[in-house]
Structure 1
């Protein structure tokens, strides 16, 4: 597994939920410096209070739309973790070109700045919504993922390795349904659910970070790493949260589950990869890996046309979901 001791690291979007979890993990290996790059000064202020005991974190205000600022931020950096993005599906639907400028142009700016600064590795966080996208968010993340893979295959004499990880929904992340449901239970005594039968691939923050670290250590250029994520039914999640929040806050009233219908751009069922990708995927115990060329498959000792894989679609049991929520202290 990759060690970050004495390395210089830049994290775009580092003030987000995954960014903060990742930085905690990176700090365990005693890097020389971690530069947190984001455009929200207040979130940086809040983060400084959380990590105020660390002398090797620097906070840089900037936007990934600004390639010159990115290039300055990457001076003398070894590794870049590119987490910054517009992520809210409704916001991207209502402001599609803003999503294009951040998720697509911003990613191309990261690529350009990384090449100019001879960065060793760049890791990009993609999403399962990039598979057969039905919304602007998914379409822009798919394009960004392709930009990263192409950069990873066309480096020539340049040394930068580009790779991607494909996430599902991360439990408890900012904007996820879990904080929203908890707030609704406490304040409104009801939960609004688009469709209780809707299923989502979901992972804990710790699972997401381990995927990032393992993918980063194995990357050779252009691959997409996909964690084997469990499927969660939205109705089950709502019921478990109602039970646990009522217990914790001693709420006596019953909690209503109100079905409001699917929103524009949403799917009832997400996918981890396309049918074409399934024909060439490499499977490990914890991940699916979409190699960009034969070189990666040869190193893994596998053929490129492996198709005997199991793609989980059965929702996990409610008690397993409850255990994860409690272990991650999300409720």
Structure 2
């Protein structure tokens, strides 16, 4: 997607996906007008600014702010064309222990982003979701489901404003902060890897895949779509074997709020889900555009009633070998199991 001449703001821009988005944008659109990194962690901004100095990247701006602060968001979004909302409290056990903080950031912050976008000249908004928002059993997932609903419904209150809001939902981002592969790579020196449940599975997407999905939504969304990628699953035991085949696997039990398998589309979603080829899309029950025209232009095919997309019943699986290749490609070119 050509973003030359555009102004973009990324909330949570110092996170793993935020930094990957910045690399992609500067690589493909070196003449981007302005790229604003909006986040509340000054240390992460300081570290990121060492790599992306204003002298080398004159269009970059580092903006300290919290999505809980709507006035700060409005100021930051002045003159912004596109917003990518990646800021969130995402650690499941921490959210379970601090529920009010999670609600303030993930739900209140989402509404603040929407309000700020509607009050400024923002044209398109893509919000990041998670598989944990699908049939949630933990607070983090519940807050992200609420956030998804807010962004999708925002298309109904925009009036004559041409802004478009959409959502992208995907599984564990390989190598992201706090994810299992870097955790196992760090723990293997101890000789024991903690396994929550030997039957546990998760969806897997690379940072590159996550970035491509955001760019797809920015370019192609009509407003109100929830995009879901077709991606492989992995078994947690295969990840452990791929990272450290000689380590003991110690079963420690599921953490509070965890599922054995994750879902991205439930059978109840199937009534509004379409296959776009590379992605699935869950459409809102109320659209601001013609469904017939949408399906025609996207060659969208309705999924069968009762269709569900679950990491445990997925037809596409990573193996120990493929996981090692991905680690070398995306995380550590010198990796040795």
Partner residue, 2:258: 266
Alpha-carbon RMSD across the aligned residues, in angstroms, is: 1.7
Partner residue, 1:191: 193
What SS does structure 2 have at the residue aligned with 1:164? strand
Aligned-partner Cα distance in 2 for 1:318–1:152? 43
Partner residue, 2:41: 40
Partner residue, 1:307: 304
Matches within 5 A, 1:287-302: 287-292=279-284, 293=287, 295=290, 298-301=293-296
Kept in 2: contact 1:129–1:271 (CA 8 A): yes
Aligned-partner Cα distance in 2 for 1:320–1:183? 20
Matches within 5 A, 1:197-276: 197-243=199-245, 254-276=246-268
Moved more, 289-298 or 228-237: 289-298
- The alignment of Structure 1 onto Structure 2 pairs a total of residues equal to 319
What SS does structure 1 have at the residue aligned with 2:169? strand
Pair 1:281 & 2:281 matched:
no
Aligned-partner Cα distance in 1 for 2:158–2:259? 36
Partner residue, 2:125: 122
Residue among 173, 179, 192 paired with 1:170: 173
Partner residue, 1:250: none
Deviation at 1:305, TM superposition (A): 4.7
What SS does structure 1 have at the residue aligned with 2:290? helix
Deviation at 1:85, TM superposition (A): 0.2
Aligned-partner Cα distance in 1 for 2:73–2:8? 13
Structure 2, unmatched stretches of 5+, are none
Structure 1, unmatched stretches of 5+, are 244-253
Partner residue, 2:330: 328
Aligned-partner Cα distance in 1 for 2:300–2:211? 28
* 1:126-179 superposed Cα distances (whole Å, 9 cap, x missing partner): 001001100000000000000000002332211211100002100000010111
Kept in 2: contact 1:153–1:221 (CA 8 A): no
What SS does structure 1 have at the residue aligned with 2:136? coil
Kept in 1: contact 2:78–2:121 (CA 8 A): no
**Change in 2 beyond 3 A, CA 1:42/1:56:** same
Deviation at 1:19, TM superposition (A): 0.2
Kept in 2: contact 1:195–1:261 (CA 8 A): yes
Deviation at 1:317, TM superposition (A): 2.4
Residue among 90, 107, 112 paired with 2:110: 107
Kept in 1: contact 2:270–2:308 (CA 8 A): no
Aligned-partner Cα distance in 1 for 2:105–2:44? 18
- Where does structure 1 differ by over 6 angstroms across 4 or more consecutive aligned residues? none
Deviation at 1:310, TM superposition (A): 8.2
Kept in 2: contact 1:118–1:158 (CA 8 A): no
**Change in 2 beyond 3 A, CA 1:92/1:310:** closer
Aligned-partner Cα distance in 2 for 1:168–1:36? 24
Moved more, 190-199 or 64-73: 190-199
Kept in 1: contact 2:267–2:308 (CA 8 A): no
